[in-house]
Chain A
Amino acid sequence: MTAIISISNLSKTYANGYQALKNVSLDIQSGEILALLGPNGAGKTTLISIVCGIVNATGGKVTVAGRDIVQDYRLTRSLIGLVPQELTLGAFDRVWNTLCFSRGLFGKKPDRAYLEQVLRDLSLWDKKDSMLMALSGGMKRRVLIGKALAHEPRILFLDEPTAGVDVELRKDMWALVRQLQASGVTIILTTHYIEEAEAIADRVGVINHGELLLVDDKQALMHKLGKRQLLIEIETPLAEMPAALADRPLELSADGRTLIYTYDPHRPQTGIDELLQALRDAGLTIKDVLSTKTSLEEIFVNLVQAKP
């Protein structure tokens, strides 16, 4: 795999002096789905806006398909489609016209058949002559996706594609994203929702206070940071932790009925066998055992909270 977008030491300080991005470096691989995860004001939109040419960077360099986004803007921008975070649409336009406009703006000659297919894929074909202001929020978001796809981009940026979208439409959106990926499009999406990143991303980048805290393969990330917990329910409640078990990574639940053992499942020795032996030696009777794994959510919360 080759990097289709290469961001190095990118910084952005807005006119009011606020530094929204601090030395961000990131390579995005061709054909992947990358989720940028971060809380409000993290700098996600700023990052995307710079790559797309809407905001000027104050430092650093971005290349798309090996070309500089400032010097070779015509080439780089024609490869990119952007679905903005806000529902920004001209109120008086019609669905079909606005797609034709987008396609032309990106320098592509008209192609009715292609645009028709885009609208059908987005279940918007029956709305093609509707005024944009007469559409629901979810439809408007799909029109924005249609506009972004109108010029057959190789790279698609989706800035919070599922904000304010119902569960069903969110599933549709994810299916669409996968379908686009299958056709070779590289997708970068931002989201607040971990389950979204978990559901569709190949890689996850966590961004907070303008810094990229980490980027990693989703599986590797969970592998690396995902701890497991073993919940051991015991027959007779305990008032306190038996002294014989005190030096192990064990916690006692408030009701004294459950022992919580935290371990790393990827270590050669998880220590479970030894622990169970120790429990029996301490005279405890085990009633039930349950193993849980940490979700991306917990990983994320830990990361974001770790930095001030």
Chain B
Amino acid sequence: MNSYAIRVIYKYEMLRAWETLAQSFASPVISTALYFVVFGSAIGSRIQHIEGVPYGLFIVPGLMMLALLTQSIANASFGIFFPRFTGTIYELLSAPVSFVEILIGYVGAAASKSFIIGLIILATAGFFVPLQIAHPVWMLTFLLLTCISFSLFGFIIGLWATNFEKLQLIPMLVITPLVFLGGSFYSVNMLPPAWQTVSLFNPVVYLISGFRWSFFEVADVDVGLSLAMVLGFLGLCLAVVWWMFRTGYRLKQ
């Protein structure tokens, strides 16, 4: 195991976030604050309670998920895409590192960043609503699993993308709609039955539901099912990455 390599890749990626501090950490905080003002205060004052939870509080897990997913994907995909784009990837390919080490470095850093962002958002939310977390351990578990699996997913996109447009494509066209329609700001139970069924095909529903359960013990779907979905997605991403590395996909001629 080339632990020095993992360390420098991880450090390099974290340093990149640090140098663009405003972009990395401040923007999720600001957008979260805006969501609170718009959804929590303006709309929340009319909706009041969903399944016994005040609306302002109810949206906290969804808001966190929204940021986690977009940040994990953006960080991880950019992290590996950029060296490919500039050509500095040559160094990674010529170094005595295994693909597993590359993966741990890049995905580890991206997941760490979004984990920190998740906690910052949680803290920001604490300024607007009195927080309550029923199962902190589960909450952190969901948080961590989400960060890792979506960073992996971002890494895949970063390898697959051949230009900047493609890099933005999946997050914009797939992830953002899925998160918005995945019950970030409402309970799926509030939808007409037909749409409830449709929602069940949206994997993000399971993610948000499980995460919300760890806060308030209210869920749209069974929490076990949520966990299984997250783990399943993680497994799927690992399989795809493994295949990519086996074949040298988009890395080696």
Contacts and interface: CB of A to CB of B under 8 A. Distances in A.
B242 interface: no
B130 interface: no
Interface in B73-123: 82-83, 86-88, 90-98
B236 to A, nearest CB: 27
B90 A54 contact: yes
Contact of B92 (A14, A80, A103, A105): A105
Given A106-B5, A106-B95, A90 B88 contact: yes
A73 B93 contact: no
Interface in A18-51: none
Nearest to B4: A104
Given A14-B253, A75-B96, A88 B86 contact: yes
A55 interface: yes
Contact of B86 (A90, A106, A107): A90
A88 B5 contact: no
A95 to B, nearest CB: 14
A105 B5 contact: yes
A54 B94 contact: yes
Contacts of B82: 90
B96 A74 contact: yes
Given A73-B96, A75-B96, A89 B88 contact: yes
Contact of B88 (A15, A56, A88): A88
B5 A53 contact: no
A102 B94 CA distance: 11
B7 to A, nearest CB: 6
A112 B83 CA distance: 25
Contacts of A15: 253
A158 to B, nearest CB: 14
Nearest to A74: B96
Nearest to B97: A105
A51 B174 CA distance: 41
A85 B129 CA distance: 57
B96 A88 contact: no
B252 interface: yes
A104 B8 contact: yes
B12 interface: yes
Contacts of B16: 92
Q: Size class of A's contact patch?
A: 20 to 34
Interface string B116-147: 00000000000000000000000000000000
Contacts, number: 78
A82 B9 contact: no
Contacts of B19: 92
B96 to A, nearest CB: 4
User: Secondary structure at chain B's binding surface: helix, strand, loop or mixed?
Assistant: helix
Contacts of A74: 2, 96, 98
A77 B90 contact: no
Nearest to A107: B2
Contact of B90 (A80, A88, A106, A109): A88
Interface string A69-98: 000011111101010101011111000010
A147 B92 CA distance: 12
Contacts of B83: 90
Given A90-B83, A105-B5, A108-B4, A52 B248 contact: no
Contact of A82 (B15, B90, B96, B253): B90
Given A74-B2, A88-B87, A53 B94 contact: yes
Interface in B131-175: none
Contacts of A75: 96
A105 B10 CA distance: 11
A77 B19 CA distance: 31
A100 interface: yes
A147 B7 CA distance: 17
Contact of B94 (A56, A80, A92, A100): A80
Contact of A84 (B7, B8, B90, B248): B90
A105 B252 contact: no
A122 B248 CA distance: 35
B94 A52 contact: yes
B87 A86 contact: yes
Query: Which residue, of B8, B16, B86, B96, has the highest number of chain A Cβ atoms within 10 A?
Result: B96
A240 to B, nearest CB: 59
Nearest to B252: A56
Contacts of B252: 54-56
12 contacts: A15-B253, A54-B90, A54-B93, A54-B94, A56-B248, A82-B90, A82-B91, A90-B86, A105-B92, A106-B5, A106-B96, A107-B4
Interface of A: 14-15, 52-56, 73-78, 80, 82, 84, 86, 88-92, 97, 100-109, 147
